[in-house]
Structure 1
């Protein structure tokens, strides 16, 4: 193994290891500081997944696109549009829960197809394309309805609120009853999606092609890869995951309104970068993105348990971590160039 290959492996693994260690350290600090208030309970850990199931799926899709060297800042608006579509179809349009879900997933794929075509075949910058997509999706959300629509569809709410209990990790409340930790189907869907995309990226030709394109597009062309087609497929996949993430987000809120999920795209980008995905493409891991989301959730838990801090401290802390990981990525890239 030459130095170049060795550093590449060490560098990628190092970024992922830093993210995982950071999460573990933060969570242990939380247990030490707020253990007497229930931070150490299994339910609190599961709440990180319950409240961020949609973001996990969105961050996974963002990671796929960022590995190709692209970006998608439209996902927050797509989530809002998906929630509003679901709410309107089930509450105003008389459409059942299952057809409504299928429609929004297809809409996500179409959204990804259009953006992917503009990026891959017309060579328009991903930032500009997805900026237009962000405005379009948010505008369509307000056209569907400018008022909040609460979802009362029985099938949808049953799926969204169905609790799956763990047979361990319970605690006795003040009334003497044992409360066992639970999670919702959204968590299972998010984690299954994560595993599937991890396998696709690591063990399939499509996944390896995405890394090759992000690493060096010209080299990928010389290897005979159809760069435009693969980029298009990556954006279609990301569009589908945006639709799915919007569905999971909607299951948490059971409503649709215009201002929903504002800044969601930045949370997804931050989670991916903190998870070790390079902004320049070619490097990334959905497992790291998962831990990036968990770090954000842990910071929010800190603020909730502390009780007096503003929720804006989440943004401030994420900004500091983002700067740290960008600098770390720059240092690794500099060493990588030196070893060439």
Structure 2
């Protein structure tokens, strides 16, 4: 009887062991599939907003990671090229020295606590128990860092495998460069040659992007139109080249005097536009005064003895959204905005 019991006991333990092994196999298969989903999401992303909403969130959801951040080297990538991203809380641009100080070797690091942490990578108010950071490398240069944080001190220990995060970091380097180059070409095709500011096509697209952020994230914005009165006087008195120089110098001073995040462009011969993210109309008088001063400065610097007037149109995010259909602005809707803003002030 004791032999029978031993056989049953041994088989029972074997069964439990087999069930445990099968459970681990299924768990690893699920993680592998999840990893492929994250990889694919990075490679298919068209902008940094896609990064924020898809692969970085997927990492947290699929692998139960408490916080995932992507740091980007602003010495390698011009932040302006990516457009307005201040509202994305999991993508951070930082200086090259941050990566040089932390990554003494170009390899992933993991640890518990904050002993070897640097300020730029510290979550500050959020407590975490352990972390796994991996450099994003392109041509032997660190262009970013994928940072995973866990509240569990034992989650990322010395036995953590680096294979998956190395592979993922490589995919990010490929994807990030693709997005950057694509955005750069996109912006170049939307620049007005004379003023070196954005053109009309860019205005349509940037307005829709601003509207999308307002409707989805509650990010306010202001839209200004500045119509220069009697620009023809300069052309008639000083010639067409002088008129083009006025437009070129005006665009240059606007780029110098407004915020880097502000979108400045030209709509037609004598109309400029300004899209100001994170603005609620409270600085309207200051903006109008600044533009008038810019016009005066350009005339003075070029010796144009001409008194130019200006018509200003302004609308905030709620007003712009009233022209939208299905949360989008069509070209006709935008032209209606322009006509309404300028005609009521003529």
Q: Report the TM-score, using the length of structure 1 for normalisation.
A: 0.23
Q: Which has the higher strand share?
A: 2
Q: Which has the higher helix share?
A: 1
Rg comparison, structure with higher value: 2
Question: Which one has more relative contact order, counting CA pairs under 8 Å at least 6 apart?
Answer: 1
Q: Report the TM-score, using the length of structure 2 for normalisation.
A: 0.23
